Amino acid sequence: MTSVTAADYGWIRSSSSFFDFALQNGYTMTLVRGVTPAELFTVAEAEPRGTCAGLTELIERHKESLSDWDDWPESFLAGAFTVPGAGGDWTLALDLGGDLGTRPSIMEALSAGTRAVSHSSNGGKPMHFFHWYEDGELRTTFESPAHRTGSTPDALNAVMRELGLNPSGDEDADVDTKAAVLALTERLTGVRVTEELLAGAEYRTGEVPEEPAEEWKGVVIDITDAHGGRTSVEVRRDQL
């Protein structure tokens, strides 16, 4: 692992940086070892949309894609490029307002026989997630460092502490948690993400469809009376 710290990612708080836009509008950044951008988009069932010369163009294309929808978007634009890291080449995929790196079906497939790491924000709300997959398995994920799940939720505790992410209690007010998560991602991938890297990359783009909503089969009505007694009734869809 590299010796990167949260201080190395202080640039994300600059008002002129990409992350100023990303944190306001939502983003997901996904890194996968040994998988090409084309292979990543195949797994995500994305429709190819050509290339973008740099981050500014990707953001403009993202804004244009949103204007194509009258209501809720049925897809989102993602950009990906190859970058060197630990153990070989990695694909860095970036989407703005999407959820590519948070979908279990995609991440399990991408990480089969390799490693995939993602971090994200839903934009404007205090929900920021981290996911580490290894060999198709979700190893560690968290929104708050103190509330981790996955098959090995404590495997990163030592390095998290080094970065100021407290896995057992309150967070240090002097630590930029988002910067620390980017540093944690670099510890796992060997990929140093800089503003210059994101700004100058040539992005292969794809339009990723929204996940189809699961068809609901019924509802459960749970009622608690004044004495604390509870009654639950399940109503099937065909009964409504």
Residue type, 100: L
Tokens matching residue 121:
């924000």
The reported pTM is: 0.85
Tens digit of pLDDT for each residue in 31-79?
A: 999 999 999 999 999 999 999 999 999 999 988 877 766 565 678 999 9
Confidence at residue 170, expressed as pLDDT on a 0 to 100 scale = 77
208 within 8 A of 78, measured Cβ to Cβ: yes
Q: Is residue 1 part of a domain?
A: no
Query: Is residue 238 situated within a structural domain?
Result: no
pLDDT tens digits, one per residue of 86-108: 999 999 999 998 899 999 999 99
Where does the pLDDT of residue 230 fall: very low under 50, low under 70, confident under 90, or very high at 90 and above? low
Does residue 47 lie in a domain region?
yes
Structural domain boundaries, residue 103: 6-215
Predicted local distance difference test score (pLDDT) of residue 22: 86
β-bridge mates for residue 148, sequence order: 142
**pLDDT per residue as tens digits for the range 164-208:** 999 987 777 788 999 999 999 999 999 999 999 999 999 999 999
In a domain, 211, yes or no: yes
- Average of per-residue pLDDT across 132-156: 97
Residue pair 144/128 in contact by the 8 Å Cβ criterion: no
For residue 54, being part of any structural domain is answered with yes
Write the CA distances from 19 to 14, 71, 143, 190, integer angstroms.
Answer: 8, 26, 18, 20
Mean pLDDT on 104-129 = 93
What is the mean pLDDT of the segment spanning 210-228? 58
Has residue 237 been placed in a domain?
Answer: no
Q: Is residue 36 part of a domain?
A: yes
Residue 219 banded pLDDT, cuts 50, 70, 90: low
Specify the higher pLDDT residue, 222 or 24. Answer: 24
Q: Is residue 101 part of a domain?
A: yes
Tally of structural domains, the chain: 1
What pLDDT was estimated at residue 216?
A: 43
